[in-house]
Structure 1
């Protein structure tokens, strides 16, 4: 019988992090530093960087799966740790950007922050595609937090059968989040002011 004591030990932390991180991101996303009298230039250089980080994360995830399939456990472990670090880096840059810049509206061709009827008509149905990708990206990015943490703890506990079961769910969802992060950036980037 497997010992799940390490998993049980970390369960409360996984639950806490899985609740605190999305809540904190939502709160920080809504905060604009300028509303508190802190005048900083928008960190407009960050979106292409954090989109690149997402792309690198996708590559690292695929590389990690290839590594484990070839029996390279240590490389797999290092790559997965790198993927988590990339996710944290993305999160920090994403929040920093949104705390210093106004949200960009998809289709706002003249960059005035208002989407008029002509702009809406010009982007047409692509707007629905964008929002579908964006919403699924956001929802799954919240969903993968506990999945990644559980997968990681199971690997640390050397509960590899249980790790493999959850990793089969975690990997495609995480890969989707990483890839769609790049897609969302590419779709919204023409509308940045």
Structure 2
């Protein structure tokens, strides 16, 4: 007997008023990247005295968090292909938590430390900036994609979840992997 997925794995929360959630998630998807940009632009305003001693390890921590996020995404993809929904939920919840930790660590670092300039020349410089540009552009989009994908999963709207996850997964994975590559390319230039 074939039991529908929503009976085997009930939603974590009721869908509620979809319009209200859509507005909240859409706002968060726009506001979070905007706040990150504001923090970049107004670094001096958010300076915390005595934080310097703790900040220098954060780029490496961010690379580890991005790496672990990518692994969790791949594991989650594997589990859903195996139709192991509970393991998929755990993996994707882990990816979401790691992504949240990354965002906090990233903001903490970049709100306090001046940006490092890439010192490479020639082709490697072009490759670096192309990777960085695509990474940043897609990272902005990823916030909204992840929030809506998570919402559809938690509310048992599995058809919508699957449809948006087809976009979210490769974009989020690309952002996580390119974040690590960008870190390794710029790490020799950190002071």
Common fold: TM-score over 0.5:
yes
Which residue among 49, 63, 66 is the counterpart of 2:75? 63
Shift in Å at residue 129 of structure 1?
A: 0.7
**Partner Cα distance (1:72, 1:7) in 2:** 27
Following TM superposition, where does structure 1 have runs of at least 4 consecutive aligned residues deviating by more than 4 angstroms?
A: 3-6, 33-37
Match of 2:142 among 144, 149, 154: 144
Structure 2 unmatched ranges of 5 or more: 1-13
* Partner of residue 6, structure 2: none
Which is further off, 39-48 or 74-83?
Answer: 39-48
TM superposition shift of 1:72: 1.2
Matched, 1:162 2:173: no
CA distance 1:29–1:96, shift in 2 (3 Å): same
Residues 11-50 of structure 1: per-residue CA shift (max 9 Å, x gap)? 0111110111011111112233488684542611110111
Structure 1 residues 36 and 170 mapped into 2: Cα distance closer, same or farther (>3 Å)?
closer
Q: Secondary structure at the match of 2:52?
A: coil
- Normalising by structure 2, what TM-score? 0.85
CA 36–8 in structure 1, closer or farther in 2 if over 3 Å, else same: closer
In the alignment, which of 108, 117, 132 is matched to residue 96 of structure 1?
Answer: 108
User: CA contact under 8 A between 1:7 and 1:153: conserved in structure 2?
Assistant: no
* Alignment TM-score, normalising by the size of structure 1: 0.84
- The separation in 1 between residues aligned to 2:78 and 2:180, in whole angstroms, is 22
Instruction: Tell me the equivalent position of 1:7.
Output: 18
Question: How many residues are paired up?
Answer: 177
Structure 1: runs of 5 or more not aligned? 108-121
